């Protein structure tokens, strides 16, 4: 556990008692603070009370008396689409509002670090798509290389739950826009920006607010090294802001779309090969085509970002390449579930928006596509450009019929349920084709989350293949 520093003896309110909220309360208590916890859910309040926390009704008059700060769980909108009433009351009372990420950065470094031979490092990864895979890949490479590494944040453990890093240890954080938008301290040693596509627009009042939340990771504290994907204009803008000159190697530009020129430090992927350039010269090259855990151009972008991050810590290209080959990928992200009769079954349930689904479609040539769900703002734009890869679509979800109308001349059927979609796709798939779950939509119309949706896909694939294997 990371004990919170700077609040010893202070009364600190905690709003939201899920994983991050309870972890923050425990860390505050470990640091000598008095946590005052609240959640709209009576069950959540009861669980917190059972741990000995003081349940403090933040909706009542006078709730902020002698409260030094409010710590907010990331799932609670604080400003848009409308200000949260409890957070607004904290503003009115002059109580500073923070989150667990801010607590982490103000607390992780201690005086004990002065006695370590090599100070620990924090790598923070944000972006719209690929940040989970990138963070996990960085952690995997560091572990493969024998470096102490912990994976936390929006993936793995909560940031306050990790162990204090030891000599030369690295903490790898995946940070969502919900986490970066509110943190009062953001000071990673290495900050990574993968890409930007429209997502969470209601929460951030549009694309500009969404990008502003991501940009805070680079603007608030200033990382020692910035690794920035420049395949979108927002990344190009951010890269330009971070560098003092074209040769400033505190910035590493990455791309999965083009060769990057110039005197600076760059890592890019073209036609399945990753290249590293410094001062206009090629330093290293890796063949990504045979790496099963990183299929498709979108994963090659993730590989570039992870490569740049660990190179900035001094790891050798040969070690990185070896580690890439042993990376198995993440569940629900281009996850190879099964292969039978020359047909691959791939679970990309995490493809919850049109852009990420389009990248999944681009990774395979002949696809039986399972799609649909709770459609996000912006429609299917990027997906429509990749429909040439689709042999047939099988549309699921409560509004499957409306979703299917956007597919035009692409062969499709309205399946509604995962069970029917998988059964039909498996029965019709031919050798060389891929049955791909890449919904291009949220899961909440039928499932609690994208993980549950992916698990159902895996279960239905297993059942379909078992029926095929039955004699007679």
- Residues making up the annotated binding site for ATP are 127-133
Write the DSSP assignment of 304-368 as a string of letters.
HHHHHHHHTTT--HHHHHHHHHT---BTTBSEEEEEETTEEEEE-TT--SHHHHHHHHHT-SSEE
Give the span between the Cα atoms of 164 and 33, in whole angstroms: 19
Query: Contact, 232 vs 243, CB < 8 A?
Result: no
Q: What's the gap between Cα 3 and its chain centre?
A: 25
For the chain, the straight-line distance linking the first and the last C-alpha, in angstroms and rounded, comes to: 57
Residue 114, classed as helix, strand or coil, is helix
Alpha helices by DSSP H, listed for 11-118, are 19-30, 42-50, 85-92, 100-107
State the pairing for strand pair 170-174/121-126.
parallel
Total Cβ atoms within 10 A of residue 384? 15
Distances (CA, A) of 225 to 151, 222, 235, 236: 19, 8, 15, 16
Identify any residues that bridge with 255 across adjacent strands, giving them in sequence order.
268
Give CA–CA dist 349/274, Å, rounded: 27
Distance, in Å, from the CA atom of 109 to the CA atom of 102, rounded to the nearest integer, reads: 13
Instruction: List phi, psi (to 5°) of 189.
Output: -75, -40
Local structure of residue 213 (DSSP, 8 states): H
Interaxial angle between packed helices 131-144 and 317-325, expressed in degrees from 0 to 180 and rounded to the nearest 10: 110
- In 161-280, beta strands by DSSP E: 170-174, 190-193, 225-229, 251-255, 265-270, 273-278
Binding residues: 127-133
Distance CA 147, CA 138 (A): 11
Supply the DSSP string of 430-451, one letter for each residue: -TT-EEEE--SSBSTTTSSSHH
Give rounded-to-5 percent helix, strand, coil for the chain: 35, 20, 45
DSSP conformation class of 374: B
Question: How many residues in the chain?
Answer: 472
């Amino acid at each position: 556990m990371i004990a919170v520093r700077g609040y010893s003896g202070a009364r600190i309110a905690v709003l939201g008692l899920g994983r991050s909220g309870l972890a923050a309360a425990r860390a505050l208590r470990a640091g000598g603070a008095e946590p005052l916890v609240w959640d709209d859910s009576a069950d959540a309040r009861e669980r917190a009370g059972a741990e000995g926390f003081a349940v403090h009704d933040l909706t009542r008059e006078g709730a902020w008396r002698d409260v030094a700060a409010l710590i907010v769980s990331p799932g609670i909108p604080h400003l848009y689409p409308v200000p949260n009433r409890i957070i607004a009351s904290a503003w009115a009372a002059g109580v500073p509002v923070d989150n667990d990420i801010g607590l982490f950065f103000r607390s992780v470094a201690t005086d004990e670090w002065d006695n370590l031979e090599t100070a620990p490092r924090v790598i923070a990864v944000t972006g719209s798509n690929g940040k989970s895979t990138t963070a996990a890949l960085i952690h995997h490479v560091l572990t493969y290389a024998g470096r102490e590494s912990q994976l936390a944040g929006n993936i793995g453990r909560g940031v306050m739950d990790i162990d204090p890093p030891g000599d030369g240890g690295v903490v790898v954080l995946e940070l969502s826009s919900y986490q970066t938008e509110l943190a009062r301290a953001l000071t990673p040693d290495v900050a990574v920006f993968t890409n930007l596509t429209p997502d969470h627009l209601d929460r951030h009042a549009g694309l500009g607010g969404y990008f502003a939340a991501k940009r805070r990771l680079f603007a608030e504290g200033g990382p020692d090294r910035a690794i920035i994907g420049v395949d979108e204009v927002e990344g190009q803008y951010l890269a330009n802001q971070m560098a003092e000159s074209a040769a400033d190697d505190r910035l590493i530009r990455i791309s999965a779309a083009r060769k990057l020129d110039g005197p600076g430090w760059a890592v890019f992927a073209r036609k399945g090969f990753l290249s590293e350039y410094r001062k206009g010269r090629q330093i290293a090259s890796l063949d990504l085509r045979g790496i099963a855990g990183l299929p498709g151009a979108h994963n090659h972008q993730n590989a570039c970002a992870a490569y740049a991050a660990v190179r900035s810590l001094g790891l050798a290209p040969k070690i990185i390449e070896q580690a890439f080959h042993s990376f198995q990928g993440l569940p629900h992200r281009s996850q190879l579930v099964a292969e039978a009769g020359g047909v691959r079954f791939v679970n990309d349930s995490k493809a919850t928006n049109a852009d990420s689904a389009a990248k999944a479609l681009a990774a395979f040539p002949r696809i039986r596509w399972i799609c649909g769900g709770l459609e996000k703002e912006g429609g299917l734009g990027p997906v429509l450009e990749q429909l040439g890869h689709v042999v047939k679509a099988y549309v699921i979800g409560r509004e499957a019929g409306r979703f299917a109308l956007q597919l035009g001349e692409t062969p499709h059927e309205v399946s509604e349920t995962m069970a029917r979609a998988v059964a039909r796709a498996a029965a019709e798939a031919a050798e060389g084709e891929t049955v791909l779950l890449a919904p291009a939509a949220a899961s909440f119309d039928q499932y609690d989350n994208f993980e549950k949706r992916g698990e159902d896909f895996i279960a239905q694939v297993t059942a379909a293949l078992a029926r095929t294997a039955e004699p007679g």
